[in-house]
Amino acid sequence: MAKAETKTTVLADGLRYKSKVSGSPFVASASFGAATMSCFLCGKHRPRSLMGTRKVLGKSQAVCAPSCKALDEALAKAAG
């Protein structure tokens, strides 16, 4: 039986993946309003401009505004 080929190695500079894109998909841009947050209810990341706050369990939490379902439908309609 042949040993499985190793697809990643630790390079001298500490990087493991050559093909992986560096960075985070949730990079905050220069302006605070363009950053993303996750909705407390549905967990999806959305721009802060599409979020609102709602008291959940006695604390103000960031949630989709006006609602998660309405926002999903509006974005689906806009996309296609």
Whether residue 26 is contained in a domain is answered as no
User: Peptide bond before 47: cis, by omega within 30 degrees of 0?
Assistant: no
Domains: count for the chain: 1
Whether residue 52 is contained in a domain is answered as yes
Whether residue 74 is contained in a domain is answered as yes
pLDDT band at 34 (very low <50, low <70, confident <90, very high): low
Mean pLDDT of the chain: 78
Q: Which domain holds residue 64?
A: 34-79
Whether residue 41 is contained in a domain is answered as yes
pLDDT of residue 75: 85
**Contacts with 73 (C-beta within 8 Å, 6 or more apart), sequence order:** none
Whether residue 20 is contained in a domain is answered as no
pLDDT band at 54 (very low <50, low <70, confident <90, very high): very high
- Cβ contact 34:47 at 8 Å: yes
- Cβ contact 50:65 at 8 Å: yes
